[in-house]
Structure 1
Amino acid sequence: MLAIRRLIASQSLLPGDKLPSIRKLAREKAVSPSTVVEAYDRLAAEGLIRPRAGSGFYVAAGAPPGRAGDTHAPLDRAVDPFWVSRQSLDAGRETLRPGCGWLPPAWMPLAAIRRALRATAKTADATLVEYGSTRGSPALRRLLVRPFAAEGIEAGPEDVLLTSSGTQAIDLICRHLLRPGDAVLVDDPCYFNFRALLQAHAVRIVGVPYTPSGPDISRFEEALALHRPRLYLTNAALHNPTGASLSPRAAHQLLAAAAAHDLTIVEDEIFADFEPERSVRLAALDGLNRVIRVGSFSKTLSASIRCGYIAARPDLAEALVDLQLATGFGGPSPLAAELVFRTLSDGSYYRHLSSLQGRLTRRRREAIAALATCDVHPWTLPRGGFYLWCRLPRATDASELAQRGLREGMVLAPGNVFSVSRTAADFMRFNVTQMPSEVLAFLRRALG
């Protein structure tokens, strides 16, 4: 029983405490007594509980307190941009992760991935053992640029560079364009790993307040004049963490301001395939002149098959090829690129996306209704995706709530890890696909 493991790990159940009887737990969980017997037997085999003849089951004296989470990052470390990532990635399978940034395995196209694995195993020997070409798989790059023409973007496969991930794509751009001390604009709030990556490049991070239609344009222009930034990082489609979409008016104003101040924009498309209808894109309006498009398949296909891409004007793409050679001797694994190509090209990926979009719409509605019972409400209603950016009631400190959640076997994403100005203390980002009933029960206890 995962719930019992979590209670033991968080020390809500202590050595010597008696567990519910088999019949009582079966009634509470609406399962058969035989299911509870099997679960108790497994916990006993792991040494977490001990049976006592004629008395029942008890928490074992030597039960390891960290079993359920077994996180490597200290629970009491500062809640900073690395905090959610470390807790989410290091958490055990029993840990609940409503704050993580990916879909559960059951939501992913597992059958298509397995077909691609079988087909790739039979591919040319060179794909299995040799380095790939400097720009990455030509077949995958040709596939990626096909939709560009429909957007009005004149770009060929030579203008696309494959990378080992979306994060590596942004890192390469930062390495090429930035020097320590340069200013970089981000949305406030923004994806917390933008902040972590920029900190690693020792640049000045300037936040611009984000609205339901995009960045606050007047504040954006003020930041351009005051800080003279080299770069602006953003999500145009289904903004992370807010779920908002850029409006056409805001997009045109952004590009006009960028042109006036010689600003380069990095537009991260990682959530684009979750949109039921495509919203405006800066890269499409700009034609990849001063906008660089980056993306990956970790959210919609697999986070295990690491493959990202950069689409940029020719001179910039050429420079990034050399930089990737210098720092990694090539792009992503040819195996990863082949797997992505095979999965995207057989038609099943797009059927998966269509089904996924409908399923996410239903799950968002359910999560919004459930959160409302805790007086937790979304800041805006996303057009797609799996995030809800929510304000907590009564100015609750989200970081304190997240620390409490971690002690009870749950990883949450508090607002200030996303906020440069740290003005989102009473916000929380929820992943609607990672919210079983235990998460809502915790929120009711904690916020009641």
Structure 2
Amino acid sequence: MLTRSPTQSLTEQLSARISERIRNRLLAPGARLPSVRQCAQQNGVSPSTVVAAYDQLLAQGLVQARKNRGFFVREGGRAAADADAGATDPAPAGQRLATDAVGRAARGVAPVNATALIRGMFHKINDQPQPGMGVFPSQWLESAFMPAAVRKVANARALQDFSLQYGEPLGDAGLRRQLAKRLDAFGVHTTPEHIITTVGATHALDIVSRTLLRPGDPVMVEEPGWAVEFARLAALGMRILPVPRRADGPDLAVMARYCEVHRPKLYVSVSVLHNPTGHCLAPGSAHRVLQLADAHGFHVVEDDSYSHIAPEHAIRLAALDGLQRTIYVSGFAKILAPNWRVGFLAAPPALLEPLLDTKLLTTLTTPALLEKALALCMEQGQLRRHAERIRTRLDAARARSVKLALAAGCRFAAEPAGLFGWVDTGVDTDALSQRMLDEGYLLAPGALFHAERKPGPLMRINFATTQDAAFWRVFERLRAEQDRLR
């Protein structure tokens, strides 16, 4: 709570608290501030104090007021008008959904600022587990075999050789051989010569975009989906076409409509353990997606970043089409070593040279030392055993987190699976996330996972970091308080 001080008024304290969160990106661009009445009750001050604090934020250019809607964190260059304007549409629900999605793309809707998500996820509030984090806790990833592998490959002579010359353009040959074996186990049959190592999976996605796309090209991306991908493509000047993601796969009616109207060049999909819902692609949907790709001439980028914790027989698009129109992307940051930044892509033969050119233009080559150490971990089975331990631990954590979430009055909007849970809280999670920050908890509100930010009741939780009953007690108290204010 704010306290009276001879050196700083309550208005200044409140304004400083909110401005600090905005500058640290703990309040994302586009986020709605609590109403004057709500903010006054939450902070134990008068409404006039809140009005004065909001006026200070307006003067600083940190927020903007929207008529009859409230105060929002300012977004550079984003039009604030008609975000939620609408009219009654007598068309059937499926047709209306497809038409609305195409219409949103035609309006050039700006995606959420993903740097807010990244900065927020990794802004260290305190030492307690954070429900909004997008990674496993660091103590889960600790191992003795990774440092041992580095020591083994980094003897004096080898270290000098690695340091005094660039690595192989495609990446370390030993690692690519191990990656080809791993892909073969998924039914993705390729050779080491068709694999390119990258600086993480995000770099692989960027290589594909820069190779196949030009500014203004339309790209289909799943919604809800990874906000970083929305913003990364927008920063390259691409046109975002959000495709609703359902339990069995993408909304095929929307995809078909996009193909007719916009002729997209690319479709980016997390087909296995989709972030944030945890959904896995069903065979029927997978075949239909590939049929659309073949008929309309677009490529599919399959981001399989959660492959190490995925169900054994999960469907991969790359396996079904034999890497003809599909480009497979994955990495090891989620399961092994986030700071090693080792990723890769497997591509159709015709795209290999253009993709390699882009890699060389953007990073030259990738660090051979870490790639050789990773290859050793894979060859000796240490990575496989490590992933098995993580899966076992995650299964237990998920069961406990689900039980606590249900007891706290939440429901799951998607069947719990993988690392993330897609939770319906029943209240506006944009507003709730601001109150939770006061208690030292960082949430990931559902609006962050949509191309057009709209407040709603959903949030993404990390099952590995929501096993603490103390968090859920705070959550229940603040949600009940928000309900009363509403």
The bucket for the TM-score relative to the shorter chain is 0.7 to 0.9
Q: Which residue of 2 aligns with 1:138?
A: 173
Q: Quick one: which of 73, 81, 84 aligns to 2:24?
A: 73
1:378 aligns with 2:409: no
- Using the TM superposition, give the Cα deviation of residue 339 of structure 1 relative to its aligned residue in structure 2, in angstroms: 2.6
Distance (Å, rounded) in 2 between the aligned partners of 1:231 and 1:100: 28
- Using the TM superposition, give the Cα deviation of residue 185 of structure 1 relative to its aligned residue in structure 2, in angstroms: 0.4
Q: Quick one: which of 251, 266, 283 aligns to 1:231?
A: 266
Q: Which residue of 1 aligns with 2:117?
A: 84
- Using the TM superposition, give the Cα deviation of residue 151 of structure 1 relative to its aligned residue in structure 2, in angstroms: 4.5
- Using the TM superposition, give the Cα deviation of residue 261 of structure 1 relative to its aligned residue in structure 2, in angstroms: 0.7
Give 1:428's aligned amino acid.
Answer: M
1:264 aligns with 2:296: no
1:339 aligns with 2:340: no
- Using the TM superposition, give the Cα deviation of residue 96 of structure 1 relative to its aligned residue in structure 2, in angstroms: 4.1
Task: Note closer, same or farther for the CA distance 1:72–1:97 as it changes in structure 2 (3 Å cut).
Answer: farther
Q: Which residue of 1 aligns with 2:127?
A: 94
- Using the TM superposition, give the Cα deviation of residue 345 of structure 1 relative to its aligned residue in structure 2, in angstroms: 2.0
- Using the TM superposition, give the Cα deviation of residue 416 of structure 1 relative to its aligned residue in structure 2, in angstroms: 1.1
In structure 2, the residue corresponding to 1:215 is in which secondary structure?
A: coil
Q: Which residue of 2 aligns with 1:49?
A: none
Q: Which residue of 2 aligns with 1:441?
A: 473
Consecutive unaligned residues of structure 2, counting only runs of 5 or more, are 6-15, 32-111, 481-486
Task: Note closer, same or farther for the CA distance 1:234–1:428 as it changes in structure 2 (3 Å cut).
Answer: same
Alignment of 1:210-249 (within 5 A): 210-249=245-284
- Using the TM superposition, give the Cα deviation of residue 374 of structure 1 relative to its aligned residue in structure 2, in angstroms: 1.8
Q: Quick one: which of 435, 442, 447 aligns to 1:404?
A: 435
Q: Which residue of 2 aligns with 1:365?
A: 399
1:103 aligns with 2:136: yes
Give 2:343's aligned amino acid.
Answer: G
Q: Which residue of 2 aligns with 1:117?
A: 150
Q: Quick one: which of 298, 318, 338 aligns to 1:303?
A: 338
Q: Quick one: which of 426, 436, 442 aligns to 2:457?
A: 426
Indicate the percent of aligned positions where both proteins have the same amino acid: 32
Task: Note closer, same or farther for the CA distance 1:122–1:157 as it changes in structure 2 (3 Å cut).
Answer: same
Distance (Å, rounded) in 2 between the aligned partners of 1:169 and 1:157: 16
- Using the TM superposition, give the Cα deviation of residue 220 of structure 1 relative to its aligned residue in structure 2, in angstroms: 1.6
In structure 1, the residue corresponding to 2:196 is in which secondary structure?
A: strand
1:189 aligns with 2:242: no
* Equivalent pair of 1:71/1:90 in contact (CA under 8 Å): no
Q: 168-177 or 82-91: which moved more?
A: 82-91
* Equivalent pair of 2:22/2:28 in contact (CA under 8 Å): no
- Using the TM superposition, give the Cα deviation of residue 318 of structure 1 relative to its aligned residue in structure 2, in angstroms: 1.2
Task: Note closer, same or farther for the CA distance 1:140–1:409 as it changes in structure 2 (3 Å cut).
Answer: same
Q: 294-303 or 76-85: which moved more?
A: 76-85
- Using the TM superposition, give the Cα deviation of residue 235 of structure 1 relative to its aligned residue in structure 2, in angstroms: 0.6
- Using the TM superposition, give the Cα deviation of residue 175 of structure 1 relative to its aligned residue in structure 2, in angstroms: 0.6
Distance (Å, rounded) in 1 between the aligned partners of 2:181 and 2:26: 46
Q: Quick one: which of 182, 187, 195 aligns to 1:160?
A: 195
- Using the TM superposition, give the Cα deviation of residue 109 of structure 1 relative to its aligned residue in structure 2, in angstroms: 4.4
Give 2:122's aligned amino acid.
Answer: L
Give 1:297's aligned amino acid.
Answer: F
Q: Which residue of 1 aligns with 2:421?
A: 388
Q: 280-289 or 223-232: which moved more?
A: 223-232
TM-score normalized by the length of structure 1: 0.80
* Equivalent pair of 2:21/2:27 in contact (CA under 8 Å): no
Give 2:460's aligned amino acid.
Answer: R
* Equivalent pair of 1:84/1:412 in contact (CA under 8 Å): no
* Equivalent pair of 2:302/2:326 in contact (CA under 8 Å): yes
Distance (Å, rounded) in 1 between the aligned partners of 2:393 and 2:129: 20
Distance (Å, rounded) in 1 between the aligned partners of 2:441 and 2:199: 30
* Equivalent pair of 1:84/1:99 in contact (CA under 8 Å): no
Give 1:216's aligned amino acid.
Answer: D
Q: Deviation per CA, 1:128-163, whole angstroms, max 9, x where unpaired? A: 443211011000000000133444444211100000
Distance (Å, rounded) in 1 between the aligned partners of 2:386 and 2:267: 32
In structure 1, the residue corresponding to 2:339 is in which secondary structure?
A: coil
Task: Note closer, same or farther for the CA distance 1:75–1:293 as it changes in structure 2 (3 Å cut).
Answer: closer
Distance (Å, rounded) in 2 between the aligned partners of 1:292 and 1:103: 26
- Using the TM superposition, give the Cα deviation of residue 89 of structure 1 relative to its aligned residue in structure 2, in angstroms: 1.9
- Using the TM superposition, give the Cα deviation of residue 424 of structure 1 relative to its aligned residue in structure 2, in angstroms: 6.7
In structure 1, the residue corresponding to 2:237 is in which secondary structure?
A: coil
Q: Which residue of 2 aligns with 1:27?
A: none
TM-score normalized by the length of structure 2: 0.74
> How many residues of Structure 1 are paired with residues of Structure 2 in the alignment?
383
- Using the TM superposition, give the Cα deviation of residue 77 of structure 1 relative to its aligned residue in structure 2, in angstroms: 4.3
Task: Note closer, same or farther for the CA distance 1:397–1:92 as it changes in structure 2 (3 Å cut).
Answer: closer
1:353 aligns with 2:304: no
